[in-house]
Amino acid sequence: MIFFNYETDFQLVDEAKYEDWIEEIVTSEGLIAGDISYIFCDDEYLHEINVKYLDHDTLTDIISFDYCEGKIVSGDIFLSIERVRENAKEFNVSFDTELLRVMSHGVLHYCGYKDKSAEDERIMRSKEEEKMAMFHVEQ
């Protein structure tokens, strides 16, 4: 099951649409969606997690904790809405586009994709684009 938690003023519009999309991402990779929680927060909240659990004293847009077992994809994905807004400006894309990229990025890690090497990062970007295209926008 997909869960959305809010530690900031931000709120997804039409959570069911995002749930369906995330499940579709997982199943398109031949895996099963278990319990996946998205926690939307601010920079301060995510920075605390980064320092406390990962010993990184930096700002980031996403931190994910992987609880996958076999083909069942589960985990907690923390997203800084402030970083997503800043990144959208920096990359000259809409907030909604950047949010989809970061949301798909987190679950793609659980599906086995990495982003440490240049080649892994290229594959991850390609997968993000593929999965973002699966988010159907009504015209």
Binding-site residues from annotation for Zn(2+):
105, 109, 115
User: What Å distances lie between residue 109 and 11, 76, 77, 124, CA to CA?
Assistant: 23, 11, 10, 9
Binding-site residues from annotation:
105, 109, 115
* Amino acid, res. 67: Y
CA neighbours within 13 Å on the CB side: how many for 56? 10
* Amino acid, res. 87: N
Tokens of 25: 């991402």
